[in-house]
Amino acid sequence: MVNRGCLLVVMVLAAALSVQAGEVIFVPLKIDGPAHDPARNSYWFGPFCECASVLDFDGDGDLDIAAGRNWYEAPDWTRHADFRDGAETNGPETDDNSEFAMDVNFDGRMDIVRSGWMFLKGAFWYENPGQKDVVWKSTRIHQAINMEGVIHGDIDGDGDDDILCNHWALVKGQGMTWLEHIDKAPWFVEHVVGTQGDVHGNGLGDINGDGRVDIVTQVGWYEQPPRASDTPWTFHADYEFKADKGLGGPASHPIIVYDVDQDGRNDIVIAGKGGLYVFYNQGNPPTPPRLHKLPPEEVYPTWRDWPAYDVLFNSRDLTGWTVPEGDNGHWKVVDGAIDYDAQSEAKGDKNLWTQESFGDFALHVEWRFKQTSGLYPMRTILPDGSYKTDANGKVIETPTPASCFAGRAGDRSTCGAGPSARGKCGPSATIRA
């Protein structure tokens, strides 16, 4: 089991130094972080989650913090690990680059919406069960070939927040996508407004002053029509962000919409490697430049070359798969995942096979058991087939929720069970020839 560390820094508001000065002072407080163990490719400065969310986990009236698979209970920031799935560590990074709190199912409890970007491509929401020590059920709400993040805002003006998805590159079959938040299951309706500008970085704001929320990209903006659900939206290529001095790099995510010069018209703020940097002279640096740069990703034993993978399952139907003749509906797609009850009525081979054949390949599969709950002590299988042990030779067991990951042949494999299990082969199942 890979240790999922989250470097989380909270900015605590302190009193002003004096009433006359009236200056707000922020004091950083580190509440968690990876163990500094370079021999195991873990450092105090990473890998860590790229995001965090704030919500009342335990219903005691104060705000707690979530970052990836962990949440931290206020006021002492007690860590609760593995409350949800996803957010796997991959080399120097964590597959969790965006998350925020939202009451998705309108039950009065704040849930969490997040996106993955390496293997769990797409967006998911995690249902707050209303009690501690229960694994939160996950549901996919957006399928993507590549994914960068999600932001929220009231796009359609109906009083509740919707979701804007961001893909880091334009590929066939994808486009600029927003998810309309509705008041009944499945809670979201997907709308694609166009394909232009569907690259790293986007944002929300009223650009033309008509009172409707538009979508901004690094190469122009989408004008919302009178009814937000109508598509496509008109695209205006009025500007183009290019990194300065040939430094390259994409636009920031999110792109900020704000009336910077206070003239009554919203402006667009984009950061990148070559622009919108502010440098403050604070004396000589305490350490040489780049001393704490993470090692190259390919030197990590956990690293897998994620961009080279193709998606086998589209999360909608069994296109590309051969269902055994006479199966009679036991292999099916339920809630964006392959569901099988082990009761196939096919004569002979009852397995589900891909229509395409592969030779040397690496398979990535996520799956769950049916009708189970809680965290289960799971062992880590090493490349030679043995179990991972500690310094004393004792087999290491890690509490794990309802999910399973299988890497390329020879890599580690971890699996577990939880209350949201339904016996599924997850929509992130991927394969590489």
pLDDT 10s digits, 246-300: 666 788 899 989 888 888 888 888 887 767 643 333 445 455 555 566 778 888 8
Please check whether residue 16 is in contact with residue 24, taking contact to mean a CB–CB distance below 8 angstroms: yes
373 membership: H or E segment, kind and range = none
pLDDT given at position 332: 93
Q: What is the mean pLDDT of residues 362-384?
A: 75
pLDDT given at position 308: 67
Per-chain mean pLDDT for the chain? 80
40-49, 84-93, 276-285: which has the minimum mean pLDDT? 276-285
pLDDT given at position 331: 94
> Could you give the CA distance from residue 154 to residue 142 in angstroms, rounded to a whole number?
18
Please check whether residue 89 is in contact with residue 47, taking contact to mean a CB–CB distance below 8 angstroms: yes
Taking residue 86's Cβ as centre, other Cβ atoms within 10 Å add up to 23
> Could you give the CA distance from residue 304 to residue 342 in angstroms, rounded to a whole number?
31
pLDDT digits (tens, 9 = 90+) for 120-148: 788 999 999 988 888 999 999 999 988 88
What percentage of the chain's residues is helix, strand, coil (to nearest 5)? 5, 35, 65
φ and ψ at residue 245, rounded to 5 degrees: 60, 30
Q: What count of residues does the chain have?
A: 433
Cα first-last separation, the chain? 26
pLDDT band of 417, cuts 50, 70, 90: very low
pLDDT digits (tens, 9 = 90+) for 137-177: 999 999 998 888 999 999 999 999 999 999 988 888 899 99
For the cut 80, the answer to whether the pLDDT of residue 69 exceeds it is yes
| pTM of this structure | 0.70
